[in-house]
Chains A and B, each alone.
Chain A
């Protein structure tokens, strides 16, 4: 049963420091996503776990065994790439049987294993088809079956859905999770897609420029992000600047640029601190009457309104010239471009952070 442990892993490519002191543990049976922008080192990390690359320093343990310098074939891992690489001259069955045959596994046992795998992955009926006869989604499922056929219990996936149509991608996320959980595998899945990571993973490693910024559950990353970078990277946030005016026990009173104030639960701030509020687009309410003065609401004008299927997205220019994005359910009153609106922050869902030392733009940069 595979647990994966990395201790202080470093890797350089020439001048580029691809990984800097990565330490983390993926538990047995866990589905972990490594999420980060292009060039953050996520694929390098996966390759080091697979044994396709060796770290410059640090250790890799699988199942408690130090495998840092073991070749890939000794690690019992299945690896799936974005570019579905099936043998073009073999049918699906042939592709899947390749591993067991190379490893000289007992034919009747592996036949049984492969059959079962194909059933669980819903690809049994494609056994006799060649890669060029398969759609992208099915071909990727065959590639996953091939990665697992030789008995791997650790599945490493590098952007496995990246080459597929978005509609198919969404569907296969659930499939991937179902397969991993159904077969009691440990999975590590690299992606640059926030939504994919949030919906498929038990926990997510967020990477930026070769370091782990956070490692937590989707719920915590989304609802209780530990800093402004995570809050913004994991899903959109609106950023509103303010100053702490008063500290009252567990509550603080913040004055916004517009002169409005809002009372929030927050600890560790002192009077006069510059802060930023981060608010997710779905956490605003429209006030019915835009004329009534309320202390904790903002007024503005709708400058963009888009129907997005399950919600409307409104871009609102506030009186202090900030643009706020609000996602609002479609079954409520539709706002029009040019309409004056009053939006209310829901204090429960407002995140508050110290104003970043190096400025907001620098804090949010995906490459540092």
Chain B
């Protein structure tokens, strides 16, 4: 069993508010990814759950029991550090068994259990190798085996895939999920990588500046982002400022720098209010003429099956447009339409769009 509940966790470092009223409930066997930019408080949160740091306020419950006063080793959690370090002078097997021996297991029992976990991770044939003889991906799996072998039912993973080559990571992430699921472990994984979060999570919690801003399934987070930060962080959505011109039962009409667009989103918007509109690059349709948006192609970038066009609209705004058709040359004029259902609307954050984008891009 391994359910986890965080209730109103707050933590300050000097004047910096690292975590602000974090509430999160993870059920037994669930895989939750906490996703956010560097400095959002992700590692701090894990360290508090593991018992390596003490929160200033709030409570932690594991399997319904409040564990705030428990030392790390009594919390039934196991923490994987971002900069895992294998002992270079020990074999893979010894590395994995080490934690068990320290906990008082006799040497033979410890190695037996270590070998079992290595077998599950397809590493048993490397048990007697030394870390330097293994690739980065294998070393990462060894470190993971070392985390899992303790038998704790809650796994806390701090950027477990960040040191891998892109190609290895792209496959290993799916295996990691299958693996912890097959063991029935509860996992809390933190990362700044969107693709990793999508590949792994049952639910994603988006964290920014110490606050959880949205929790949901990958689908909910991508398709129904609650605010500009989530929208901009999760995808390459085009974000633009606009003014609400008209609100009706079937949607909202927005003016963006002289161009009128209709969104089927309604929301609690008022006439004359400044809002942020979001359109994903894939949701623009290019047509011969008569589009709502007219612009000129400034650049055309390879994007796997598609091409990404940077289009400068007649009102001076630049948008990214994804297309699977070819033959769009730099300098050519294009005419674009967007389905009203694909036009997202968000309330304008404090400081406007500029500040929101700066926040997403980590330049504020």
Contacts and interface: CB of A to CB of B under 8 A. Distances in A.
B319 to A, nearest CB: 13
Find the residue from A194, A282, A304, A306 having the highest chain B CB count within 10 A: A306
Contact of A308 (B198, B303, B360): B198
B305 interface: yes
Interface in B257-305: 282, 299, 301-305
A354 to B, nearest CB: 23
B38 interface: yes
Contacts of B194: 166-167, 309
Contacts of B174: 304, 306, 315
A132 interface: no
Q: How large is the interface on B (under 10, 10 to 19, 20 to 34, 35 or more residues)?
A: 35 or more
A151 to B, nearest CB: 26
Nearest to B191: A166
Contacts of A304: 174, 178
A235 interface: yes
A165 B363 contact: no
Interface string A158-184: 000000011110110010011000000
Contacts of B310: 174
B193 A218 contact: no
B170 A174 contact: no
Interface in A30-78: 37-38
Interface in A299-314: 304, 306-310, 313
A127 interface: no
Interface string B150-175: 00000000000000011100110010
B179 interface: no
27 contacts: A135-B361, A135-B364, A136-B362, A137-B361, A165-B38, A165-B362, A167-B37, A167-B192, A167-B360, A167-B361, A168-B361, A170-B236, A192-B165, A193-B166, A195-B166, A198-B302, A198-B304, A199-B302, A219-B302, A236-B170, A236-B171, A304-B178, A306-B199, A307-B198, A309-B195, A309-B198, A309-B234
A165 B304 contact: no
Nearest to A195: B166
B279 to A, nearest CB: 14
B363 A137 contact: yes
B363 A307 contact: no
A135 B136 CA distance: 28
B235 interface: yes
Contacts of A235: 304
B218 interface: yes
B218 A307 contact: yes
Interface of A: 37-38, 135-138, 165-168, 170-171, 174, 177-178, 192-195, 198-199, 218-219, 222, 233, 235-236, 280, 282, 304, 306-310, 313, 315, 366
A56 to B, nearest CB: 26
A282 B363 contact: no
B337 interface: no
B361 A171 contact: yes
B301 A168 contact: no
B80 interface: no
Contact of B362 (A168, A195, A306, A366): A168
A280 B170 CA distance: 14
Interface in B202-250: 217-219, 222, 233-236
Find the residue from B235, B305, B308 having the highest chain A CB count within 10 A: B305
A138 B360 CA distance: 13
Nearest to A233: B167
Contacts of A222: 302, 304
Nearest to B298: A178
Given A167-B37, A167-B194, A167-B233, A199 B362 contact: no
A169 to B, nearest CB: 10
A177 B178 CA distance: 38
A192 B37 contact: no
B167 A37 contact: yes
Contacts of A171: 361
B338 to A, nearest CB: 15
A308 B195 contact: yes
Interface in B299-325: 299, 301-305, 308, 310
Given A198-B304, A199-B302, A136 B192 contact: no
A184 to B, nearest CB: 15
Contacts of A307: 198, 217-219, 222
Given A167-B233, A236-B171, 14 more contacts: A135-B362, A138-B363, A166-B194, A166-B195, A192-B166, A194-B167, A198-B304, A218-B302, A235-B304, A282-B304, A307-B218, A308-B195, A310-B235, A315-B174
A166 B36 CA distance: 10
Contacts of A309: 194-195, 198, 218, 222, 234-235
Contact of A282 (B167, B301, B305): B305
A104 B233 CA distance: 44
Nearest to A327: B305
B285 to A, nearest CB: 13
Contacts of A366: 165, 167
A310 B308 CA distance: 14
Contacts of B198: 306-309
Which 5 pairs from chain A and chain B are nearest by CB? A218-B302, A135-B362, A193-B166, A166-B193, A165-B192
A329 B174 CA distance: 19
Contacts of A313: 199
A64 B302 CA distance: 31
Contacts of B304: 195, 198, 222, 235, 282
Nearest to A236: B170
B195 to A, nearest CB: 7
B165 A38 contact: yes
Given A137-B363, A199-B302, A38 B136 contact: yes
Contacts of A135: 361-364
Given A170-B236, A194-B166, A306-B198, A136 B302 contact: no
Contact of B282 (A233, A280, A310): A310
Nearest to B360: A167
A195 B166 CA distance: 9
Contact of B301 (A165, A167, A174): A174
